[in-house]
Structure 1
Amino acid sequence: MVSPFAAVPAAVVDDAVLLHVGNPLREQRALEGGEAVVPRADRSVLTVAGEDRLTWLDSLTSQALAALAPGVSTELLVLDPNGHVEHAAGVVDDGERTWLVVDREDAEGLLAWLTRMRFRLRVDPQDVSADFGVVGGTASAVATLGDGVVAVWRDPWPDVAIGGWGYAAVDPHPAAARDWSEAIVTTSTLDRLASEAERGERRLAGVLAAEALRVAAWRPRVAAEADGRTLPHEVDWLRTAVHLSKGCYRGQETVAKVHNLGHPPRRLVALQLDGSDAMLPEPGAEVRAGGEPVGAITSVARHHEEGPIALALVKRTTAVDAPLTVAVDGGEVTAAQEQIVPPEAGRTAAVPRLPRLSRRR
C-alpha cells in the first residue's frame, strides 16, 4: 500500500500511515485549533446497505440503532458471548446506507462476522476502503475538505449517550471540550489533499498527533484498549457505545450483570510518566505497584502540554493512590495515576464526582 502523502515535505510514513510531518507536538496544537487535518490511513471504511440494515445492526450490537436518523453519529461494540469487546465502529447513516469507521486492524474481522450474520435479511455489508478513506480533525477543519466528502462521523466522546452510563468520576472530564470528527472521503480527495499539502496550501498532521489527543481525552480504541478480555465497563465505554436498556444482543447479560450486580475486574487509569527520561514504554509494558505487576500499558504518547502520558488497564483492587512504575527497555519509569474508572464502578455505579486535578506539568 502506497500513501499519497509520502511526497509531502517532512512526511514520515509507515505502512501507508502518515505518522507526522516533522513536529508531532506542533501538529497536536494545529489539530486542536482547527488549523490542520489528519489523514487516517489507520482507519478502514465499511458500509451496510439494504432495507434491514439498522434493525439488523441493532440486534447484533450494543447500541440502539433501529431509529437512528440520517446524519446522526453514534458508536457500537460487538461483544463475545461473555461480554468482551471484539469489535468497535463509529456509525453514521445517510438514509440509504450505514457507514462504519473502524480501526484498520479490526476491519477484516468485523466484516467477516457481519457477513456470517446476514441470514436472509436484506443487508449487504462491504469493505469500501479501496474507494474511500478517512480524514480527521475538528468539525470546522473537516468542513473545509470540500467535494468528495460522503459522510461525517462526529465522535460522541465523552458525552453520555441516551441509554449510556459514564463511570469517570472527575469533573470536568478532560475531554469535555473535545471537538473531533472524521470525514469519509473519496480516494481522489485524499490525492487532492496530498497535492495541496505539497504546494503548501493545506496543513496536515500525522496520526501520532491525533493519538496523543485521544490518549489525553481518555478515549478507548479497540486496536489499543481491547485485548480480547476487555469489558466495556473497564474502559468507560458504556458512555458512548452501549445502550443499557435496549433489546437483547450477544454479551448483553454480562453487561447488565457487571453494571448492576458486580464490578469489572480491571479499570482504566491515566498515567503521567516521568518525563526526565526520553524513553517511552511500549504498549503491553508491565505496570507495577510495590514491585508487583498490576496491569499493562494500552496506549502511550507525548502530549504538547502534559508531556509523556499513557493509558493502562490495572487490577480493580489497585489502590487509587498507589505509586506505580512502568517497565521500559533496560529499567522502569515512575508513573502518577489518575483515576478514570473507579474501583466502585458497577454495583455501586453512582460514584461521587471528584474535582479534577491539573494534569499540566
Structure 2
Amino acid sequence: MTVAPADDVTGEYLALRTGAGVVADRFEAVWIRGADTTPFLQATLTQDMSGLAAGEITRAFLLTSKGKVRALLWVLVGANEVILLCDKGRQADVLRALVLLNVNMDVTIDAVLGPVIEVIGPTAATVVGSLGYDVQAPHRWAFSEAGHCVAAIGHIRVDLPRFVLIGPSSDVVRNSGGVFVGDLAADAVRIEAGEPQAGRDVDDATLVHEVGALDGAVSFTKGCYLGQEMVERIDARGRVNRRIVGVVVGTNVIPPHGCEVVQGSAVRGRVTSTAESLYLRAPIVLAMVRREVVDGSAVTLTWDGGSAPGTVHELPLDTFASIS
C-alpha cells in the first residue's frame, strides 16, 4: 500500500477521486449463519430478503421497535448465511439486538473480529485484483481462497467504485498501488457522495425517511418486520419533519460539528459532519434540518464565537461523473 506523505490530505483526497484510496476501520461486520438465516432477517430488517440469491449485495436498516434507526447496513447474502456491514461503533448494538430478537430460530450470530478495509476510487478494481482477489462485479461479493470476503458495495447515491475486504490486514495490501487515506480526506468524499454515517449523521432518534435514499433499502410490500408500523405510518403521511441535506459553505472556514443551522431568526437544524471539498473548492457539511429548509436556500451556520453563510443542497453534493 502506498502511503501519502504525512499530512498530505490533498494526495489522499485525489487518490479517492482519481485513483484508489485505502480506508481502514470505518466498517464492522456481523455474521449470521444457519438454516433460518433468511426468515430470521426477513422478520428483522427493512429489506425483503426472500428473493435474494447468494452473492448479491443489498442495503437495509435495522430499526428499534419504535421505528428509529439502530443501524445502516450493507447486506451480503450467502447460502444460509449473511454478513452485515455496519458503521464502526455499531457492531455491539447490532449483535445485541439480533441475539435478543432470535427466538428459537436456527441461526448463529457472531461478531466478525477481523479488519475491514475499503478500497475506493476509479482504479479500485485494479488494486483489488493486484492483491490476488477475484474482482467482483458491482453489488456482488464472494469469499476468496484465503477465506477473506471481497465485496463490491459501491455507494448509495453516486457511481464511485468501492470494494470492502474483510480479513486481510493492512500489511497484505501494502504495495498494492492504493494510497492509505485518513479521516479528513475520507470524510470529504463521503460528504460529497451524500453518505450518512451512523453515530454522526444518524442516531437512535432518526427515522428512516429522514435518512432518505430508501429505494433498495426498505420494502413496502413484504410482511411484518421490527419497526414497520412507524415506517408505514410515515410513508402514508407522505412527509417527515426533518431530513439530511448538504450545505456548501460560503467562506473558507470549516464549521464545527454540532453547530446550528439558522434561517431567518430560527434554528432549523444542526451540522452532523464537516469537511473541506477540493472539488467544490469550499467547506461542506451534512446537516439534519427541518423540512421548511428547502434546496437552494441560504442558511447561516452559527457557533460560539463564529458563523458562516451556506447554501442548502439535495444530496449528493457531487455526482462523481467527472471520474468516469
TM-score (norm 1): 0.76
**Correspondent of 1:333 among 280, 285, 308:** 308
The CA RMSD measured in Å over matched residues stands at 2.6
Structure 1 residue 182 and structure 2 residue 164: aligned?
yes
Specify the SS of the correspondent of 2:171: helix
Q: Does the alignment pair 1:323 with 2:323?
A: no
- Total equivalences in the alignment: 301
Does residue 292 (structure 1) correspond to residue 266 (structure 2)? The answer is: yes
Distance in structure 2 (CA, Å) of the matches to 1:69 and 1:156: 20
Displacement of 1:333: 0.7
- 1:314, distance to aligned residue in structure 2 (A): 0.8
**Aligned letter for 2:314?**
Q
1:218-270 Cα deviation digits (max 9, x unpaired): 12222222122211111213133211212111221221221222410112221
Consecutive unaligned residues of structure 1, counting only runs of 5 or more, are: 11-20, 159-174, 342-355, 357-361
Counterpart in the other structure of 1:146: 132
The residue identity in structure 2 corresponding to 1:99 is: I
Shift of 1:69: 1.3
2:75, 2:9 → 1: CA distance?
28
Residues in 2 aligned to 1:81 and 1:115: alpha-carbon distance in whole angstroms: 15
Instruction: Supply the distance in 1 between the matched residues of 2:215 and 2:195 (Cα, whole angstroms).
Output: 10
Q: Distance in 2 between matches of 1:150 and 1:318?
A: 42
SS of the residue aligned with 2:229? Answer: helix
Query: What per-residue deviation string (whole Å, max 9, x for no partner) do you get for residues 131-186 of structure 1?
Result: 3422231451433332554231413512xxxxxxxxxxxxxxxx2x3322322233
Shift of 1:96: 5.0
- Percent identity of the aligned residues? 26
Contact preservation (8 Å) 1:90, 1:155: no
Q: Note closer, same or farther for the CA distance 1:32–1:276 as it changes in structure 2 (3 Å cut).
A: closer
Q: Please give the per-residue CA displacement for 1:29-64, whole angstroms capped at 9, x wherever unaligned.
A: 21222x323232132121111111122112101011
What is the Cα deviation at residue 327 of structure 1?
2.0
User: Any unmatched runs of 5+ in structure 2?
Assistant: 134-145, 320-324
1:16 maps to none
Contact 1:220 1:237 (8 Å CA) reproduced: no
In 1, are the aligned partners of 2:20 and 2:119 still within 8 Å (CA)?
no
Do structure 1's residue 31 and structure 2's residue 31 form an aligned pair?
A: no
Distance 1:143 1:253, change over 3 A: farther
Partner of 1:264: 240
Q: Distance in 2 between matches of 1:276 and 1:191?
A: 37
Q: Which amino acid aligns with 2:154?
A: D
Relative distance call for 1:69 and 1:319 in structure 2 (3 A) is closer
SS at match of 2:311: strand
One-letter amino acid of the structure 2 residue matched with residue 186 of structure 1: P
Measured in 2, the distance between the counterparts of 1:145 and 1:71 equals 20
Report the TM-score, using the length of structure 2 for normalisation: 0.84
Over 3 Å counting, the alpha-carbon distance change for 1:156 and 1:59 in structure 2 is: farther
Matched, 1:192 2:172: yes
Counterpart amino acid of residue 82 in structure 2: T
